[in-house]
Chains A and B, each alone.
Chain A
């Protein structure tokens, strides 16, 4: 389940924010917020995508880097919401 979430999130990030980048460079521990991949608008777009794609509802404080800074953290958050 978590692996599937990771794959979907990675595809979304590559497509929306990193077009043309080598997919291998984006790992599940690559920092997204602190690394400048996600700014505030990017974060909101990711949140809207997660809510729509996985049918979960996120809270405002879950936009923090603690929850969304890596693909692994995003997957863990979605997984915890779904379960």
Chain B
């Protein structure tokens, strides 16, 4: 089924079970101990030749250092992974220089010291200390003077207590943030370590054990390859040190390239499976979904590359997996460490237990156990990293299908072996090329199932294949490897040159724009829509989120969504939810109070005082002021600025009423308008939304239909009928497709449209829903004698790359449009957002919004009829 082929580059080289370098422990220390670690000490070195070799080694080491410096620059310029990652890598590269100059016998201890220091750097002394202590406890249990079975039992019991801490059922003095990393370090390595304790001839030393479990740079990679202990021990300086370092540098560069490519795929190629319109878009989606794996393989290359810098010549983690010629071949190439782990601990033991039933039966049994185990262990891994235990049907289908394909190949090979070559590459043939293309295509299809929100979504997605379009089909994979073949130095210089966009932006603005988009770890349009509106807060299946969104939400975990607080309450009508009146809580670490009208605002009278110009401000979380104090919402700041002496237009006073509620869709703003805004007799109504307003609007409409809430706007009601999604609100069993429902209805079975199908249908008409909503808003506000304004405002980030139709629709509906999408452009995002992982504007960001709105209000004072009010105000005096 799998092979343990480590790397083609060492294919026919004799494998040394004992490190060469050990022979040099007693050798005289040279200025560059790498020489001592690499040279065969049985050959006496003449002084001249020793000096020459020493100079060569120094030059090679210097080149590695230069490349690592460039690597750091690339990480900084492209903001790869996290800030912790940069800090830890800087520590690691500085440590490498010292490490490489030390005599061999001290290097492993330095590696342990660096690994533990990295834990402290990442988590701080207190939480880092707890992590190390809990880890030492687990290692201690492995070495208890008890039978292996008893030690395993004690570990399981300890793991259960840890799980209760992980779920925060048991209180602990540490941050919950330590669990993903502690889990990552121990959840699989403990099993491998116990296996080695039982079967390896060589007993582990304390230093090596600490090096294995706290392995640098695990602290910034929760998703870490399952390193085999025996391989970890056996490959330590088992080749010339320089060769190991150079291989490591090459893999680090390969990892960086893949991570940047991943950013490009994530930002520009992925999409929403429910919004695919043509075969071309479907093909692009399928391709992009599998290409997202570049992040995992990029991280793994990077991790193993870093470990090479410390002498661990570990094998490749992924090997040209897009070029697999069968699923059996794919299993050998993709995430090789996982395959080796499962082979060693599950497959071979299962086969040996079952082989009395015959080799084929044993093969079938062992393969089933391996793929079932892989499915469950992925959920187990998810538990430690995220705290849930997802067992989605599409996961079962994916692993089941993959297992079946691999098993077919394995049974064929059990019967007739596939021919191998001694150390040679496989010759090209048309049949091989066709098999490779076929395997890749099938893999794309299977991978899309694994990544789908649900099996239903996946099935609906294929509807797009009915409409043909040739565009986007030219995007083909494979380039990472061609790039990786270039020298590491050229690649690094190329990446750095690209990162300084000012050099070429005037000549190639499109390239500069793409590079800018991959230089930050941000969310793509789909995920940004989920986060921006707080919509993800309502998702009950976060396990299906993309890896990037996973990072964001994992860091954000300690901030409760507003819907989980007492300041939020649901309603059984079209509005859906609102702020609870007179609430006073701490939300996102800030004071959060509401007035008696359920507004995040100071107390207001329903009756508008004479001479007051009222602006009603509606919108989602950034209008409500998520992450800032009551005094720092831009509504409050704008009101203060307008009322500052000398700033007004002669009016006695301005009031900016904040009706913002987190996660409000555009249709909820319309509902809020009728529910209470008009009662306050506003002079202008500012509706606010970002560029990703379609998904939450569709979600709100579907929610209303499904919950049988009356839609009080006839034109929106008509749209639900026209698109057919009104069938979502029927009573009956959910059945896919009109034909399916009709067939069952004819048999007397009551049916309804499933949510996913309704979602797909309405998303295709989302622009119409938004247009109708804006028209309705404008009409209602004007009927009231006020002025409707559409404020286009996003969270801190780049302006949208594609045109936002809502801007045009709002203007066409007769609204005044204030476009603030470019507000954050060219500014330091970190100084304007509430956290690295949350782009809501902070106090400074809110002040910036208020200032821009103030300017726009001044600029459009005539349309806003501020002059008329000035006259009224003077008369009131």
Contacts and interface: CB of A to CB of B under 8 A. Distances in A.
B4 A39 contact: yes
Contacts of A25: 422
B1 A45 contact: no
B127 interface: no
Contacts of A69: 15
B352 interface: yes
B414 A41 contact: yes
B630 to A, nearest CB: 63
A7 interface: no
A65 B12 contact: no
B417 A42 contact: yes
B422 A18 contact: yes
Contact of B6 (A34, A63, A64): A34
A52 B180 CA distance: 47
Interface string B207-248: 000000000000000000000001000000000000000000
B370 to A, nearest CB: 10
A contact face: mostly helix, strand, loop, or mixed: loop
Interface in B408-425: 410, 413-414, 417, 419-423
B147 interface: no
A44 interface: yes
A33 B420 contact: no
Interface stretch (B275-283, B343-351, B611-619, B650-658): B343-351
Contacts of B423: 35
A44 B343 contact: no
Given A44-B414, A63-B348, A64-B230, A36 B420 contact: yes
A41 B419 CA distance: 13
B265 to A, nearest CB: 30
A26 B875 CA distance: 106
B349 A60 contact: yes
B3 A39 contact: yes
B14 interface: yes
A17 B419 contact: yes
A48 B359 contact: yes
Nearest to B416: A16
Interface in A45-83: 45, 48, 58-61, 63-66, 69-70
Interface in B1-47: 1-6, 8, 10-15, 17
Given A34-B10, A35-B5, A45-B417, A40 B15 contact: no
Contact of A39 (B2, B198, B355): B2
A38 interface: yes
Contacts of B359: 44, 48
B199 interface: yes
Contacts of A45: 414, 417
A59 B352 contact: yes
The residue among B198, B359, B420, B423 with the most chain A CB atoms within 10 A of its own CB is B420
A30 B420 CA distance: 14
Nearest to A69: B15
B332 interface: yes
Contact of B422 (A26, A60, A64): A26
A38 B347 CA distance: 16
Contacts of A65: 4, 15
A45 B359 CA distance: 9
Nearest to B332: A39
Nearest to A20: B419
B1 A31 contact: no
A14 to B, nearest CB: 10
B623 interface: no
A17 B417 contact: yes
A16 B417 contact: yes
Interface in B327-366: 332, 343-344, 347-349, 351-352, 355, 359, 363
20 contacts: A29-B14, A30-B14, A30-B422, A31-B11, A33-B5, A34-B4, A34-B5, A34-B6, A35-B11, A36-B420, A38-B3, A39-B4, A40-B1, A41-B363, A45-B417, A60-B348, A61-B195, A61-B198, A63-B348, A70-B15
